Chains A and B, each alone.
Chain A
Amino acid sequence: MFGYRFIRRERPLPGGQVAAFAAGVLIALLVGAVLLVASGNDPFEAYAKMFDASFGSWRALSTTLTRAVPLGLAGLAVAVAGTMGLWNIGAEGQIIAGAIGAAWIARLGPDLAGPILIPAMLIAAIAGGAILALGPALARARLGVNEIITTLMLNEVAIRVVRYLVNGPWKDPEGQGFPIAPVLPEQSRLPDFFSRANIGVLIAAFVLLIFGYYASRSRWGYELKIAGSSAEAAKYVGVSLKAKILTVLVLSGAIAGLAGGIELTGSADRLVEGVANGWGYAGIIVAALALMRPSGVAAVAVAFGAVQVGGLAIQTLGVPAAISDIIQALILFGALSAAVFSTYKLTRGGLGAAEPTGQDEDARATV
């Protein structure tokens, strides 16, 4: 178009993604400011309040970190699959499945001691997420069924299962008719970390660290990247693609399930329909912004946690909380657009290197 074309750089600009993220944040804040002005608010006041509510004090920071936990784990779930070129769009449903698993254990053993009950709930949550991911994983590994749509569809199934539970068999008899499960036992709460944060923050940080290490330093991580780059290469180095797809997608579901478990043993005091709160979908944006790297996931999750906490805080100014969803999505669109300049350069005319085709025919799923 207009004689200009994108030429792929020999290597991406150093720090390109960080710059792209910063550009995305800037674009999002600018568009957000326009919306705030249009709705009769002072953007400077609103942004100052958002920042203060998310980073202004230890209490604020602890709230932000708590909010970053499900975002970071969902982001990691997506990133683990994404390293291999797979899309787990089902983190939302897997968080719900995890929360259901944890709530189920609390129903079975409400009198168990905390040190037994909490780990049991978290393990059940991990299992719940893994089970929900198992179907799409098997279908993809064995039959080549596209995992994007199957995982997406299961989100809608999972939300109806939890809706059924809190409206029916698990409904709180003392809930005054509200669709909520009974309050969880007192000893099922995760111990405090600092201020309003519980040790769920440490668990999530630990999980992210482990995966960060394994993704970049281990043979397992290396094989994942090989399998993601080309089926031919995977065959050449002796990696079983089917086994990898299966384990990676189930693992991805397990991580998202853990997010549901931590939510239930941490911030939430009972199972409700909205337990996943859109974190599964936001996690996809987090992972994309982090280029599927665990360290990046942690950083973006904290930033998004801050946006969400800030968005809730400015409700007192009369700004709809939806502003935080808008800002998150705009950060992504802004960063995606800006990132193009770190991997490509815009030149006028001329010849450039051809773009690698990415995936192999074999590895591609049928939609």
Chain B
Amino acid sequence: MNEQTIIGLLVSVIEFGTLLYLAALGEMIAEKSGVLNLGVEGMMAMGGVSAFWVGVETGNPWLALVFAAVVVAIFASIHGVVSVAIGADQVVSGLALTILGLGLAAFLGEDLVFEAPRAAFANFELGPLADIPWLGETIFSMTLVSWLALALGGATWFVLNRTRAGLSLRAVGESAATADAAGTPVVRIRLIAVAIGGALAGMAGAYLTLKLAPGWSELSTAGRGWIAVALVIFGAWRPGRVLVGSVLFGGLLALEPRLQTFRCQPGQEGLCLGFEIDPIIVSMLPYILTIVVLILISIRARHRPSVAPAAIGQVYRREER
């Protein structure tokens, strides 16, 4: 294994990390407002197919990104309306959104499956910084979408923790009745949070089909939406920790197809593993780690308040005031 292999791995970590962070950030915003959205997998597929279509038609990846964000914000609002405004169960509604999204994406994208990509996010070399060894070819030449994801993460942290709007959103997610009594528009805030979550999942889909794995097929999302759901828990509903989790889980996704190259070949120099890890084990780790973290959170919650927004999954309907 040489330098180029390691750089290839790191680039892949950034790419998977970007995909996961965008989607997980969106899911986190929705959950912070008290709405669990299990539709990420379907939303990502809808974003992927919409972005790829615009990419093929116009050749402009940024137009595709914006289009995907808008389309999926509207698409996610189906879940918003059904689970928040109408008050149906969030689990059922979210899963149905995944089934609908995967189905619609496959249906609408049927003619795009063999289409060659005509737009892609270009690597962005950050001036002289791009000449720094190791960092230059990885972080300082990643696409602007990755920088955008980081900026959105920072913005999310700021809005949630330092603004009135963020306070309202968190209040709605902790106790809708209390927030309502204080005059906070519960339904409106939740609808907006779900739509923003959708927009971010849509961007993740755009990044998927226009950079990470250029092209479209109904298998494009490959269960990565579920990882985004897991990441929110793994990251304890905090933008910073979700970022750490995204890099970690992104690392596992990047490692999986490369494990072969890490095995010691006869006469090989440099880093290598003297034992064999089956890629299948690595591919299971994000899900198993999430279960472990969930158990730890529950044990911890016996002594301290839980880190989860208290109102997740609860329908709020004001019947009388």
- Spell out A's residues near B (CB within 8 Å): 1, 5-8, 35, 39, 87, 89, 135, 139, 143-146, 148-150, 152-157, 159-161, 163-164, 168, 278, 281-282, 284-285, 288, 320, 322-326, 328-330, 332-333, 336-337, 339-340, 351-355, 365-367
**B87: A residues at CB distance < 8 A:** 6, 340
Closest A residue to B308 by beta carbon equals A367
Binding site for A on B (CB under 8 A): 36, 38, 78, 82, 86-89, 91-93, 95-100, 102-104, 106-107, 110, 187, 218, 223, 226, 229-230, 233, 278, 280, 283-284, 287-288, 290-291, 294-295, 297-299, 301, 306, 308-309, 312-313, 317-320
Also in contact, A322 and B218, with CB within 8 A (given A329-B96, A329-B97) = yes
Contact (Cβ within 8 A) A353 B96? no
- B230 / chain A contacts, CB cutoff of 8 Å: 149, 153
Instruction: Enumerate chain B residues within 8 angstroms of A278, measured Cβ to Cβ.
Output: 99
Tell me the smallest distance from the CB of B251 to a CB of chain A, in Å.
Answer: 17
B86: chain A residues within 8 A (beta carbon): 336-337, 340
A163-B280 contact in complex given A149-B230, A281-B99, C-beta closer than 8 Å: yes
The answer to whether A333 and B98 touch (CB under 8 A), given A288-B89, A353-B319, is no
Q: How far is the CB of B110 from chain A (nearest CB, A)?
A: 5
Closest 6 pairs between A and B when the two form their complex, measured CB to CB: A325-B103, A329-B100, A322-B106, A367-B308, A336-B88, A326-B103
Which B residues touch A322, using CB under 8 A? 102-104, 106-107, 218
Judging by beta carbons under 8 Å apart, are B288 and A6 in contact? Answer: no
A154 to B223, CA, bound (A): 12
A330 to B96, CA, bound (A): 8
CB neighbours of B100 from chain A (8 A): 325-326, 329-330, 333
Whether A355 contacts B317 by the Cβ 8 Å rule is yes
Given the known inter-chain contacts A144-B298, A153-B290, please indicate yes or no for A337 contacting B82, CB distance below 8 A. yes
| B226 touching A143, Cβ below 8 Å | no
Contact residues of A: prevailing secondary structure? helix
Task: Describe B's contact surface by its main secondary structure.
Answer: helix
Complexed CA–CA distance, A35 and B280 (Å): 39
Between-chain CB contacts (< 8 Å), 11 pairs: A89-B95, A148-B91, A149-B291, A152-B226, A285-B92, A320-B107, A326-B100, A329-B97, A333-B82, A367-B306, A367-B313
Note all chain B residues with C-beta closer than 8 A to A155.
226
- Minimum CB–CB distance from B31 to chain A (whole Å) comes to 8
Q: A156-B226, A367-B312 are in contact. Are A323 and B92 (CB under 8 A)?
A: no
Point out the residues of chain B lying under 8 angstroms from A1, CB to CB: 187
A145 touching B294, Cβ below 8 Å: yes
Q: Closest CB of chain A to B185's CB: distance in Å?
A: 10
A307 to B294, CA, bound (A): 37
Q: A290 → chain B, closest Cβ, in Å?
A: 12
The distance from the CB of B275 to the nearest CB of chain A, in whole angstroms, is 17
Considering only CB atoms, which chain B residue lies closest to A35 in the complex?
A: B107
B291 touches A285 (CB 8 A): no
Task: Please name the residue on chain B nearest to A6 by beta carbon.
Answer: B317
Q: Which of B95, B229, B288, B317 contacts A284 (CB 8 A)?
A: B95
Assess whether A146 is in contact with B99, with CB atoms less than 8 Å apart. Answer: no
Q: Which of A159, A282, A336 contacts B99 (CB 8 A)?
A: A282
Enumerate chain A residues within 8 angstroms of B298, measured Cβ to Cβ: 139, 143-146, 365-366
> Contact partner of A6 among B95, B97, B110, B319, CB < 8 A?
B319
A320 touching B280 by the CB < 8 A rule? no
Q: Which residues of B contact A367 (CB under 8 A)?
A: 36, 233, 297, 306, 308-309, 312-313
Q: Which residues of B contact A340 (CB under 8 A)?
A: 86-88
A163 CB contacts on chain B under 8 angstroms: 280
Q: Which residue of B lies closest to A167 (CB)?
A: B280
Taking A139-B294, A153-B288 as known contacts, 14 extra A-B pairs with beta carbons closer than 8 A to each other, sorted by chain A number, are A145-B295, A145-B298, A153-B290, A156-B287, A159-B223, A281-B95, A322-B218, A326-B100, A326-B103, A328-B99, A336-B88, A336-B92, A354-B319, A366-B308
Contact of B287 with A157 in the complex, beta carbons under 8 Å: yes
| Complex Cα–Cα for A353 and B319 (A) | 7
How far is the CB of B108 from the nearest CB of chain A, in Å? 8
The answer to whether B110 touches A154, judged by C-beta atoms less than 8 angstroms apart, is no
Chain B proximity of A155: nearest CB distance (Å):
8
Q: Which residues of A sit under 8 angstroms from B301, Cβ to Cβ?
A: 144, 366
B residues within 8 A CB of A351? 320
Residue of A nearest to B111 (CB): A39
Assess the B82–A336 pair: CB atoms within 8 A: yes
B317 to chain A, nearest CB (A): 6
**A183 and B8 alpha carbons, distance in the complex (Å):** 40
Cβ-closest chain A residue relative to B91: A87
Partner of B284, one of A7, A157, A323, A326: A157
User: Chain A residues near B36 (CB, 8 Å)?
Assistant: 148, 367
Chain B residues lying within 8 Å of A282, measured Cβ to Cβ, are 99
* Assembled-state Cα–Cα distance A326/B217 (Å): 17
Given contacts A150-B291, A282-B99, A285-B92, contact A366 B38 (CB under 8 A): no
Known interface pairs A152-B226, A160-B280, A320-B110; A329-B99 also in contact (CB < 8 Å): yes
B34 to chain A, nearest CB (A): 11
Given A150-B294, A329-B99, A333-B96, also A8-B319 (CB < 8 A): yes
Q: Are A149 and B233 in contact (CB under 8 A)?
A: yes
